[in-house]
């Protein structure tokens, strides 16, 4: 195998890897914020609100990420001009899309908290917001964290899909080297290793902490 | 039934435990247990949680093997790993959590072993199964799935399932502990009627009323040993061992 | 506005053809995923250490690197080893192998989720371990893994959109081509979105119907979709959470 080729291109790959990490971090924050809001709205007792949140979730869970990315990219280009940063478009697309999955995770966590908890908080005089923030949310932690980290792993891998709108992150940078050198094997191995070192420890953590499937 | 078969049966449904020990890892759960159950008798095992009652039942029913000592159930020497499997299908076990098969309806639960291990025809199994369900008063609910039954009904189906293979001995491990108080009676009355029919039974329970009225003997276990045993009158009304006194005081207070 | 929709709708036959290819690749890749997942699950539980390790490595690598990379590896790198496939085949293989890694874990969890208590109940009744597996464990395991398996079918469907990166004329790829031609991205991608939603909802809905007839008692709601549903019963007491 061509080690020299890896060595020569390593700085370039590492720089792109840094972009991947940044994109991941920003999108994780964005998808969590969206997921928290949509997940909470999904459990709302106002039917219109919960149905709108449900539609949001089901639309993104039923369509592929490239469509969302293309929408955001061309939409931004049309309304904001072509100067729009690919990074921003990618981060927005990833956040919107993964936000739908994150919302489902929060929803199931919220619904697992017994209603008695909410009623107790209400009788104590907490507002609905306070009840959510101080009573419900803390209790969802154990249920929510493992699948949430699992979703973040998917998101990190999915940053590679920003490829379809031309965002230069690890995958795209690697493919450029493959196109230039016609040496796919060492380049792909390097890329795989870089994704693996990030995702595998997270996967191990998820496996250790996830609740086992229980029969219905 | 002729006299000889009756005698054979009376031999074959007794239980003897001699110097039985069992450890899980470094925890010695059973320390030198001796226990005899004559055929047709009802023995009630009481004791604090963790004292080893379930482990005794599980060893007698073949779900665990003793580390040392002799265990003879019916005519099967359970301490002989080659012969222990012979007990399967000859004893019945009723669990605290029912353990009904959720994908089968009541009749399906009761007939599964009849069809698969006794190789009965469908019609024959159905007939036996319905008879068993009738015995526990559940024939009307034979088409219901476990999730559609109350706890007491589920437990009665579980008893019918155990009875279907015509066991000579029945074990009950806290069969009523998972039930709402008002449902306990329907299960204990089925258990009492089995006892009246001469079934050999070993029953782990916290229902002191059942123990008092139905048991031939009450055995109190404490930390892996049998601390005291005797007639219900003796053990429940006039306990000698301080741990038995403590335990009963706590149970009766609750 | 209207004429824009009309000019994009002229391409509807192209969209529908692409949708057909998407569905076809989805079904093939899912079949492959089932085979890979089942094989890997058996291998991971086997007594042979080499099989166990191999299956473990397969699952971890596939689950911890991007699918897009796996698609590229099959399409661009395998030819270096003399394995040359056309784009559709390469894409089908890559996605099938990828989702197989996820299904492997689903199947393993499904078998171990059937409680030990159920095996014991079967054992006391006198069922052999083979009979217990066939009559007690497998039916419950199948029921337990069914919803997760359907989710993975949808993941296969969504994954096929990545094949646009190796120029497979599936739905996303065709949409980008039409977009480049018409420059009407709202209409083009809206149509693509709707067609994907039709596919994913149809697959979920059909799987739901199948789940109702396949399992007893009927499996309620396998995977929600955009169709209206009765509000699922929510858990209300601590006892139910613990149960
Ligand atoms: N499979 C097992 N592995 C480890 N420890 C066990 C196991 N089964 C029971 N024990 C332990 O053995 C002790 C006795 O258990 P058990 O027989 O279930 O008691 P009881 O039924 O009287 O409550 C307990 O301390 C329990 O934690
Ligand atoms: Mg016990």
Residues of chain C neighbouring B103 (CB-CB closer than 8 A): 139-140, 143, 215-217
Q: What is the DSSP string of chain B?
A: --HHHHHHHHHHT-EEEEEEEEEETTEEEEEEEEEEE-TT-EEEEEE-TTSSHHHHHHHHTTSS--SEEEEEETTEETTSTTTGGGGTTTEEEE-TT----TTS-HHHHHHHHHHHTS---HHHHHHHHHHHHHHTT-GGGTT--GGGS-HHHHHHHHHHHHHHT--SEEEEESTTTTS-HHHHHHHHHHHHHHHHTT-EEEEE-S-HHHHHHH-SEEEEEETTEEEEEE-HIIIIIS--SHHHHHHHHHHHH-
Query: Across residues C141-153, what is the average pLDDT?
Result: 94
**Interface residue C161 vs chain A (CB under 8 A):** yes
pLDDT over threshold 60, residue C242: no
Taking the C-alpha atoms of residue C241 and residue A15, their distance in angstroms, rounded to an integer, is 47
Query: Across residues A135-152, what is the average pLDDT?
Result: 90
Residue A117 has what pLDDT? 80
Question: Are B162 and C124 a contacting pair at CB < 8 A?
Answer: yes
SS (H, E, C) chain C: CHHHHHHHHCCHHHHHHHHHHHHHHHHHHHHHHHHHHHHHHHHHCCCCHHHHHHHHHHHHHHHCCCHHHHHHHHHHHHHHHCCCCCHHHHHHHHHHHHHHHHHHHHHHHHHHHCCHHHHHHHHHCCCCHHHHHHHHHHHHHHHHHHHHHHHHHHHHHHHHHHHHHHCCCCHHHHHHHHHHHHCCHHHHHHHHHHHHHHHHHHHHHHHHHHHHHHCCCCCCCCCCCCCCCCCCCCCCCHHHHHC
Shortest CA distance from C140: residue in chain B = B103
Q: pTM of the predicted model, to two decimals?
A: 0.79
Taking the C-alpha atoms of residue C156 and residue B90, their distance in angstroms, rounded to an integer, is 49
Angle formed at CA B130 by CA B183 and CA B101, multiple of 5 degrees: 60
- Residues of B within an 8 Å Cβ radius of C: 61-63, 88-93, 95, 97, 99-105, 112-113, 116-118, 145, 147-148, 161-162, 165
pLDDT tens digits, C206-221: 999 999 998 888 887 7
- In angstroms, what is the span from residue C21 Cα to ligand 1's centroid? 58
- Is the torsion defined by CA of A107, A111, A116, A117 positive or negative? negative
* Cβ atoms of residues B236 and B250 within 8 Å: no
Taking the C-alpha atoms of residue C144 and residue C113, their distance in angstroms, rounded to an integer, is 8
The protein residue whose alpha carbon is closest to atom 27 in ligand 1 is B50
pLDDT tens digits, B28-87: 999 999 999 999 999 999 999 999 999 999 999 988 999 999 999 999 999 988 898 888
- B vs C, Cβ pairs < 8 A, gives 70
Query: Across residues B224-246, what is the average pLDDT?
Result: 95
Q: Is the CB of B188 under 6 A from ligand 1?
A: no
Q: Is the CB of B239 under 6 A from ligand 1?
A: no
Q: How confident is the model at residue C230 (pLDDT cuts 50, 70, 90)?
A: low
pLDDT tens digits, A23-45: 999 999 999 999 999 999 998 88
Domains of chain A: 3-213 (1.10.3720.10)
Peptide bond into B101 cis (omega under 30): no
Q: Is the CB of B50 under 6 A from ligand 1?
A: yes
- Residues of C within an 8 Å Cβ radius of B: 115, 117-118, 120-128, 131, 135-136, 139-140, 143, 215-217
- In angstroms, what is the span from residue B92 Cα to ligand 1's centroid? 21
Distance from CA of C203 to the nearest CA of B (A): 25
Q: Is the CB of B51 under 6 A from ligand 1?
A: yes
Which one of the ligands is nearest to B53 CA? 1
Residue A140: strand, helix, or coil: helix
% chain C with pLDDT above 70: 94
Question: Are C172 and A192 a contacting pair at CB < 8 A?
Answer: no
Which one of the ligands is nearest to B219 CA? 1
Residue B63 has what pLDDT? 86
Q: Is the CB of B49 under 6 A from ligand 1?
A: yes
* Cβ atoms of residues B6 and B60 within 8 Å: no
Name the residue among C121, C131, C217 with its Cβ closest to that of B117: C131
Instruction: Write the CB contacts of B215 (distance below 8 Å, at least 6 apart in sequence).
Output: B42, B43, B44, B203, B232
* Cβ atoms of residues C95 and C152 within 8 Å: no
Shortest CA distance from C199: residue in chain A = A62
Structurally, what CATH architecture does the domain formed by C2-242 represent?
Orthogonal Bundle (1.10)
For residues A82 and A68, the model is more confident at A68
Average pLDDT score, chain C: 90
% chain C with pLDDT above 90: 71
Instruction: Give the residue, out of B17, B25, B51, B52, with the most ligand 1 atoms within 8 A of its beta carbon, to mutate for a pocket test.
Output: B52
Residue A128 has what pLDDT? 81
């Amino acid at each position: 195998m061509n080690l020299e080729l890896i060595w020569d291109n390593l700085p370039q790959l590492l720089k792109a890897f840094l972009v991947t990490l940044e994109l991941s971090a920003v999108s994780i924050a964005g998808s969590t914020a969206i997921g928290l809001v949509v997940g909470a709205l999904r459990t709302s007792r106002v039917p219109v609100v919960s149905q709108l949140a449900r539609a949001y979730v089901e639309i993104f869970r039923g369509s592929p990420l490239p469509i969302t990315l293309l929408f955001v990219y061309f939409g931004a280009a049309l309304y904001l001009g072509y100067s729009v940063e690919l990074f921003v478009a990618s981060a927005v697309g990833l956040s919107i899309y993964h936000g739908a999955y994150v919302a489902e995770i929060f929803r199931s966590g919220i619904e697992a908290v017994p209603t008695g908890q909410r009623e107790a908080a209400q009788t104590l005089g907490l507002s609905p917001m306070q009840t959510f923030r101080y009573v419900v949310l803390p209790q969802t932690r154990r249920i929510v964290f493992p699948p949430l980290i699992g979703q973040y792993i998917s998101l990190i891998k999915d940053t590679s899909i920003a490829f379809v709108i031309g965002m230069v992150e690890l995958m795209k940078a690697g493919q450029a080297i493959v196109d230039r050198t016609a040496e796919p094997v060492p380049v792909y191995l390097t890329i795989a290793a870089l994704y693996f070192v990030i995702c595998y420890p997270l996967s191990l953590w998820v496996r250790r902490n996830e609740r086992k499937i229980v029969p219905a | 039934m002729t006299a000889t078969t009756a005698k054979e049966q009376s031999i074959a449904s007794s239980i003897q435990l001699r110097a039985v020990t069992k450890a899980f890892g470094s925890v010695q759960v059973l320390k030198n247990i001796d226990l005899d159950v004559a055929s047709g008798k009802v023995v009630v095992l009481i004791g604090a949680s963790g004292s080893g009652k379930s482990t005794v039942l599980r060893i007698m029913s073949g779900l665990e093997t003793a580390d040392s000592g002799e265990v003879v159930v019916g005519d099967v020497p359970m301490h002989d790993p080659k012969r222990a499997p012979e007990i399967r299908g000859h004893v019945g076990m009723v669990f605290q959590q029912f353990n009904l098969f959720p994908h089968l309806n009541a009749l399906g639960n009761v007939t599964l072993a009849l069809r698969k291990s006794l190789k009965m025809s469908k019609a024959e199994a159905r007939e036996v199964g319905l008879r068993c369900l009738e015995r526990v008063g559940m024939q009307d609910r034979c088409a219901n799935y476990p999730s559609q039954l109350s706890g007491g009904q589920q437990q009665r189906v579980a008893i019918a399932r155990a009875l279907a293979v015509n066991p000579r001995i029945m074990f009950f491990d806290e069969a009523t502990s998972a039930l709402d108080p008002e449902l306990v009676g329907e299960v204990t009355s089925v258990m009492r009627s089995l006892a009246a029919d001469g079934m050999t039974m070993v029953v782990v329970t916290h229902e002191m009323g059942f123990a008092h009225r139905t048991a031939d003997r009450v055995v109190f276990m404490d930390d892996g040993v049998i601390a005291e045993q005797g007639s219900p009158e003796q053990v429940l009304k006039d306990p000698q061992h301080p741990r038995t006194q403590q335990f009963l005081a706590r149970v009766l207070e609750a | 506005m209207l004429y824009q929709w009309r000019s994009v709708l002229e391409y509807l036959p192209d969209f529908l053809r692409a949708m057909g290819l998407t569905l076809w690749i989805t079904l093939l890749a899912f079949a492959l995923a089932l085979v890979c997942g089942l094989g890997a699950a058996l291998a991971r539980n086997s007594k042979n250490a080499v099989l166990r390790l191999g299956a473990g490595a397969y699952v971890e690598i596939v689950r911890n690197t991007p699918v897009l990379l796996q698609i590229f590896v099959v399409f661009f790198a395998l030819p270096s080893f003399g394995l040359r496939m056309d784009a559709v085949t390469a894409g089908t293989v890559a996605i099938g192998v990828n989702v197989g890694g996820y299904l492997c874990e689903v199947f393993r969890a499904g078998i171990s989720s059937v409680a030990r208590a159920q095996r014991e109940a079967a054992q006391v009744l006198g069922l052999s371990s083979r009979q217990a597996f066939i009559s007690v464990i497998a039916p419950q395991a199948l029921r337990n893994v069914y919803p997760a398996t359907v989710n993975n079918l949808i993941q296969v469907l969504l994954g096929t959109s990545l094949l646009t990166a190796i120029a497979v004329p599936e739905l996303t790829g065709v949409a980008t081509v039409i977009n480049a031609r018409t420059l009407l991205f709202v209409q083009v991608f809206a149509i693509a979105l709707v067609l994907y939603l039709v596919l994913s909802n149809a697959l979920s809905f059909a799987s739901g119907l199948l789940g109702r007839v396949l399992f007893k008692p009927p499996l309620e709601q396998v995977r929600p979709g955009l169709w209206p549903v009765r509000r699922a019963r929510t858990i209300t007491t601590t006892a139910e959470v613990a149960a």
